Amino acid sequence: MQVNQYAPNVVQGMLSLLKNCPHEVAHLRRDLLVAARYILGTELRVRFIPCIDQLFNEDIFIGTGWTTRDAVRSMAYSILVDVVHHVRGQLSLNHLSLAVQLFSKNVHDPTLPVTIQNISCKLLLNLMESIRVKTEQELTVSANPGLIVGKGTSQYQLVKKKPISLLWLGSVVMCLYNTIYW
């Protein structure tokens, strides 16, 4: 039996379980997140890309209950960091933007453990390269609709677009540097 043939059902089933799990039952949500860690640790993680915005929604992934938020936040964020790190090259700019918003918020959240803040910073630094590549691809394709961006694309074709994305990346790096070291 092939797991891939049931992958859409696994994705929808896991999201339904997270949505329908009672918000105040912390041990159930913790068990669901442990199962999610195993599922998202396989090649099925790519199947979650179309609905990754639902995983970025804290009310769905962590829950809204006070006890649940307190008990499973760290585990939930470490799972999300792992997933986003592995699929970052395949995420759209909109999904990358949602990831930057979520993990930037984690960096500034004093209620999270330092380890979660640290891995959030590391992920944000790793996401910058994906954002730069996606931005260059979108700018190049929008300027030249017939151009196919791939391995054969010359770096010289992208020279005009780089200063904008490098300026943006530089400002993000400075913000992260100030957050970490000040």
Tens-digit pLDDT profile for residues 129-172: 888 888 888 777 666 655 555 544 444 344 344 444 554 555 56
Residue 67 in tokens: 């006890």
Domain boundaries of the chain, sorted by first residue: 1-88, 91-182
Q: What is the pLDDT of residue 171?
A: 55
- The DSSP call for residue 91 is -
What gap in Å lies between CA 84 and CA 130, rounded to an integer?
11
- The DSSP call for residue 42 is S
pTM: 0.76
Q: Give exposure, 8-24, as e/b (b: 16+ Cβ within 10 Å).
A: eebbeebbeebeebeee
pLDDT band at 43 (very low <50, low <70, confident <90, very high): confident
Tell me the average pLDDT of the chain.
81
**Could you give the C-alpha distances from 23 to 20, 29, 48, 71, 113, in angstroms and in order?**
8, 8, 22, 12, 22
Residue 150 in tokens: 């791939």
Element (H, E) at 164: helix 162-181
Residue 6 in tokens: 């049931």
Q: What is the pLDDT of residue 153?
A: 46
Query: Who's near 7: CB < 8 A, 6+ residues apart?
Result: 44, 47
Q: What is the pLDDT of residue 124?
A: 92
